Amino acid sequence: MLQLYGHRFSSYTWKALIALYANGTEFAFRDVDPSADGSAANNAFVKAAHPAGKFPILVDGETTIFEATAIIEYLAARHPGDAPLIPADAQQAAVTRMMDRVFDNYVMNVGQLVVNAYIADAEAPDPAQVQAGKDGLLRSYAWLEHWLSSNALPPHVSLVSCAAAPSLFYADWIERIPAACPRVAALRAELLALPAVARCVDDARAYRRYFPLGAPDRD
């Protein structure tokens, strides 16, 4: 059986979980949270298997795959299901991969600048880093709003869905999607209503105390 190492509050673990849930793929979850059974062994495996000791990591027999995008590409190739994780059309697949990078690099990773500032000093986070993260998110929201005005994402659940759902979920906690970006707000709501995404949100509720900025009382 497939094994996925990760944490239920982790955005990139969600990214892999959404693909697995959407296709009903059987797997065993190897939890790295300190409160979980077997977490010491799971963490030791992660540290040994990943160059930087990060999760998620997928194990399929003798094959180990890390980085959430690569995990989804692997699942699409080796464990396909009804969810169109990677479109068959080459041009649509290229756009799918492009938008995956947009959500990872310019939404999730930009928002992470703010999170990292609070992790470093919760009482006095670096204001320059916080501002850079929030300004970056507003820029990304505006770009996405414009892109969505004349483009459509591939059908759910795709690689883009898997990237966009956790990215927009947490980014909106960091810097609210402004009223000037109704398409982005609607996309977030649409993604959170998907059963695979809703399952991730619900399974992570117990860990909201971990959010460095303080999790809002919503979602």
Do 110 and 155 fall into the same domain? Answer: yes
In a domain, 207, yes or no: no
Rounded-to-integer distance, Cα 22 and Cα 83, Å: 6
The CATH number for 25's domain is: 3.40.30.10
Distance CA 102, CA 189 (A): 19
- Same domain, yes or no, for 95 and 190? yes
**Residue 83 falls inside a structural domain:** no
The pLDDT assigned to 21 comes to 98
Q: Is residue 204 part of a domain?
A: no
Pair 66, 108 in one domain:
no
Domain identity same for 8 and 38: yes
206 within a domain of the structure (yes/no): no
Report pLDDT for 218. 95
What sign does the dihedral 38-13-85-61 (CA atoms) show?
Answer: negative
pLDDT of amino acid 6:
98
Q: How far apart are CA 73 and CA 75, in angstroms?
A: 6
Residue 121 lies in a domain: yes
Mean per-residue pLDDT over the chain, rounded: 97
Number of domains in the chain: 2
Say if residue 133 is in the same domain as residue 172.
Answer: yes
DSSP 8-state code for residue 106: I
Q: Based on the domain organization, do 123 and 168 belong to the same domain?
A: yes
Crossing angle (nearest 10°) for helices 68-78 and 11-22: 10
pTM of the model: 0.97
Is 210 within a domain? Answer: no
Whether residue 66 sits in one domain with residue 101: no
Q: Over the stretch 41-96, which tens digit does the pLDDT of each residue have?
A: 999 999 999 999 999 999 999 999 999 999 999 999 999 999 999 999 999 999 99
Q: Which domain holds residue 37?
A: 2-78
Q: 27 falls in which pLDDT band (50, 70, 90)?
A: very high
> Is residue 199 in some structural domain?
no
Q: Do 56 and 122 belong to one domain?
A: no
